[in-house]
Amino acid sequence: MAVEWAGSGPELLFTIDRDSGAGLRTQLEEQFRDAIRGGRLAGGEKLPSSRELAGALGLSRGLVQDCYAQLQAEGYLTSRPGSATRVAAAAGLPRPTPPPPSPPTRPRPAIADFRHGVPDLRLAPREDWAWAIREVCRTAPNTAFDYGDPIGDQHLREVLAAYLRRVRAVAATAGQVVVCTGMAQAFGLVLRALAAGGVDTLAFEDPGTAGSTTGQANAAGLAAVPVPVDEAGLDVEALDRSGARAVLVTPAHQWPTGVVLAGHRRQELLAWARRRDGVVIEDDYDAEFRYDRDPVGSLQGLDPDRVVSLGTVSKSLAPALRLGWLVAPERLVPALARDKLVTDRGSPGLDQLALALLIESGRYDRHLRRARTEYAARRRTLVDALAAHAPGLRVTGLAAGFHAILHLPPGAVEQEVIDQARQRGVGLYGLARMHQVPGPHPPRLILGFGDTPEHTIAPGIVAVADLLRG
Ligand SMILES: Cc1ncc(COP(=O)(O)O)c(C=O)c1O
């Protein structure tokens, strides 16, 4: 489709060589013909007015008008009285053949979809974000529009440090906080800093996010090894045997089993880090959504010298904002800052100020309270529906976040349950594919309710209850 320019005409990259000996109008006409034939100017595209183009190229307006008239006569351009000159629809390159239709995306299941990993995008705080951006644009000094500190705006880092101290018991000062493009970038920065410091192997939880973790580790020059998770979280003895000197963990709510890293395991993990001169990378991805009465604080708060904590607004506000942070021991910050500078010169400055304003104004907490209430209601509905229609099945991992683990009866075949449920209009997802170490693994489903409207939960469970009971 031709680009429609609003207001004044578009700029054109044409050059006029006054020393070439060729006539000025000839040069201009030739450049138009070439641009149209070569596809740089598409059929229907609006051209600058003769006055604008003459001004931009230092030509007389009459010369440009003559050029336009000539190209109209040749069929390259069209113009109607009172409207802009345009490239003729039939001129230029033949329309590219449309790409073959992409395979149809799988329709969302008709009754309920228990997909996981995404918050409810309908809850994204559009009004709050728009308010914060408007306030920032209205009140920020001109210097806020300059390049900023690559590790993040000082004010946001102070606000985040205070917030994380208050809510997550993170031991943070602004100097330890690096603002990043989501957890994904934070993780990459940490891996590269560790690799530069001689770490060559990263351990990660199994089951877990093997694909992206291994990909990022390998890209940073590290090997990645899976370490099993049991009912108490990461198996620290197995970690010790792995030979790794860094480990990525989700202690507050293990992804995907939902297990909370037990107190004794926390101590063992930190002891491992001290003994090995190792580093624990804590992914605190959904810590904002806890439903138990005794929320677990961050691991980082227990040993700020050995733990790097990673956070994100992807679950609390929306993934599209691409805002996150890391809290690192001070010795790592210079390397992280250099890397961040080279990578992107710092995260978007106005968005950082908007996030600081949301937190300081209390709107962030207010949004979290609303979202938490909504997710808690869905969680209750899910638990009640399972108790009523698939009684006796174990449901675990409910302390936080927006997914639960349903343990299917022994002998159930995870994939068969998923396939049959799909035929009945219910999206179910299994845990087997999240294991790196080959099974057999007990049949389990991850029941996400972040993006599952509450009114669909009970009908979804009813529709597949007989499959779940085995
Ligand atoms: C385990 C885990 N941690 C963190 C995130 C968030 O990553 P980001 O902040 O880059 O969106 C995700 C995203 O799905 C995730 O699955």
Specify the CATH number for the domain of residue 19: 1.10.10.10
Give, using CA atoms, the residue closest to atom 5 of ligand 1.
285
Q: Where are the beta strands (DSSP E) in 197-278?
A: 201-206, 223-230, 233-234, 246-249
Atom 1 of ligand 1: nearest residue by CA position = 255
pTM: 0.88
Q: Are residues 312 and 376 in the same domain?
A: no
Token reading at 251: 């202690």
* Distance between Cα 313 and ligand 1 center (Å): 9
Block residue for tokens 């408007």: 134
Task: Give the distance (Å) from ligand 1 centre to CA of residue 258.
Answer: 15
CA–CA gap between residue 221 and residue 458 (Å, rounded): 47
CA of 319, closest atom in ligand 1: 11
Q: Which atom of ligand 1 is nearest to the CA of 324?
A: 9
What confidence tens digit (pLDDT) does each residue in 205-264 have? 999 998 999 999 999 999 999 999 999 999 999 999 999 999 999 999 999 999 999 999
| Mean pLDDT in order along the chain per 10 residues (470 residues) | 54 84 93 90 89 90 95 93 87 71 80 93 96 98 97 98 95 97 97 97 96 96 97 97 97 93 97 98 89 81 97 95 98 97 97 98 96 94 97 92 95 96 97 90 96 96 95
Give the sign of the dihedral formed by CA 8, CA 10, CA 11, CA 12: negative
Within this chain, do residues 291 and 197 fall inside the same structural domain, yes or no?
yes
Residue 60, domain extent = 1-98
User: Do the bridges between strand 246-249 and strand 201-206 make them parallel or antiparallel, or are there none, so unpaired?
Assistant: parallel
As to burial, measured by CB atoms within 10 angstroms (0-12 exposed, 13-18 middle, 19+ buried), residue 95 is exposed
Rounded Cα–Cα distance for residues 267 and 234 (Å)? 12
CA separation for the pair 160, 450 (Å, rounded): 25
**Ligand 1: which atom is nearest the Cα of residue 313?**
9
Query: What is the number of structural domains in the chain?
Result: 3
Which residue ranges have their beta carbon within 6 Å of ligand 1?
A: 117, 182-184, 209, 250, 255, 283, 285, 312, 314, 319, 324
Return the residue matching tokens 């603002």: 179
Does residue 53 share a domain with residue 132? no
In the block, tokens 């930190």 appear at: 270
Q: Quickly tell me which residue has 């309710």 as its tokens.
A: 449
- What is the C-alpha end-to-end distance of the chain, expressed in Å? 54
**390 falls within a domain:** yes
255 and 394 fall within a common domain: no
Considering the domain architecture, whether residues 83 and 206 belong to the same structural domain is answered as: no
Q: Are residues 192 and 316 in the same domain?
A: yes
Q: Are residues 350 and 376 in the same domain?
A: no
Q: Are residues 292 and 412 in the same domain?
A: no
236 and 374 both lie in a single domain:
no
Q: Give residue 20 CA to ligand 1 midpoint distance, Å.
A: 58
Q: What's the CA-to-centroid distance between 401 and ligand 1, angstroms?
A: 12
Is residue 269 in a domain?
yes
Instruction: Please check whether residue 401 is in contact with residue 286, taking contact to mean a CB–CB distance below 8 angstroms.
Output: yes
